[in-house]
Chain A
């Protein structure tokens, strides 16, 4: 979808060959990493309430090694954006993302964070993937805690597939210097076209 693709992992020859030791080390590191993802909660709306429910005792985020909320981006692994993001907050979210050290991941929780949701208006960002790269989208309005847990499991799956030889997981992904965006402007305009019931219909029918 117009995203600048992460460079492909270097070939086996270029990395000096994958052998029993490196692959076992990969799986050890990935196992440790995926079970200790520290979330940076960025809760702006009702999704944050479901996120708090997920972190509380009944759903117990601690089972996934995520009970330690990192309220500083410097010590965070996963940015969980729960809720709508207005344009005024866009530079804040971008800066928090850039302050997180590599390797880092992002979960876009809920319809608003993923697509703008019902807020197809002048004030709301139409999907945070127009500001920062996103790994997992969790649908729902808001998603139930099970939904978020499923998203987290998907992210753990993704983390467990990474290779240390792939230096893309260590390199910061830079936005296009000309537009300052990760996605080409034309793609953003296309992504945020009205879909289905939109501004062409008003509630009063007038």
Chain B
């Protein structure tokens, strides 16, 4: 059922929003409906609980996490937002969840990996580009930029488009990376790259914890 002639404001909200408000009360901060799409702002502390309910409740059945991303606005006072796009295939519903991370607080939010295994790489990308830490993620490290990338988080507003270092320095650091490095102990070539890896990753590899790959 594809909606036609949806107004910008005032379209009916996704019925899930009302169900969320009834069940979680104060934890649902705000509900917006723009172009017929429902955005629910939720409390940071209860995110995982809410997502788990959306996934498990037989009336909701949000069985597909299509994206995890973040938004930083130009206004330096305004909070960063982390965004989850959920889709319910059986009920044909789309829901956007947002959590606001106000300035001056740690950029941390719970990982939804325990509910959706597909969140693994999405959250790693979000961490790589915005520096948001997802607590409870099994293997939070960079995914697009290389592991030893030191210039910061490229999609943040304070990040200069051309990077922080000079071109020659960027090139030198990039060329120093070992293209054969793999990050599981089963791979033989890990021995070559072991010294180059960040500390916490070395600890994790030594302890034999799973690497998420």
Count chain B residues whose beta carbon lies closer than 8 angstroms to a beta carbon of A: 24
B174 touches A88 (CB 8 A): yes
B146 touches A88 (CB 8 A): yes
State whether A122 and B167 are in contact (beta carbons under 8 Å apart), knowing that A88-B146, A91-B175 are contacts in the complex.
no
Indicate which residue in A87, A121, A126, A186 contacts B161 across the interface (CB closer than 8 Å).
Answer: A121
Flag whether A179 is at the interface (Cβ < 8 A).
yes
On chain A, the residues within 8 Å of B145 by CB distance are: 88, 123
Q: Least Cβ distance of B190 to chain A in Å?
A: 17
Flag whether A189 is at the interface (Cβ < 8 A).
yes
Count chain A residues whose beta carbon lies closer than 8 angstroms to a beta carbon of B: 27
State whether A180 and B172 are in contact (beta carbons under 8 Å apart), knowing that A88-B145, A91-B178 are contacts in the complex.
yes
On chain A, the residues within 8 Å of B178 by CB distance are: 91
A123 touches B154 (CB 8 A): yes
B163 touches A130 (CB 8 A): no
B161 touches A199 (CB 8 A): yes
CB-CB nearest in chain A for B171: A130
On chain B, the residues within 8 Å of A189 by CB distance are: 166-168
Report the bound CA distance from A194 to B178 in whole Å.
29
Flag whether B195 is at the interface (Cβ < 8 A).
no
Report the bound CA distance from A126 to B144 in whole Å.
19
Flag whether A125 is at the interface (Cβ < 8 A).
yes
A181 touches B162 (CB 8 A): no
Q: Least Cβ distance of A41 to chain B in Å?
A: 18
B residues with CB within 8 A of A: 74, 144-146, 151, 154, 159-163, 166-172, 174-179
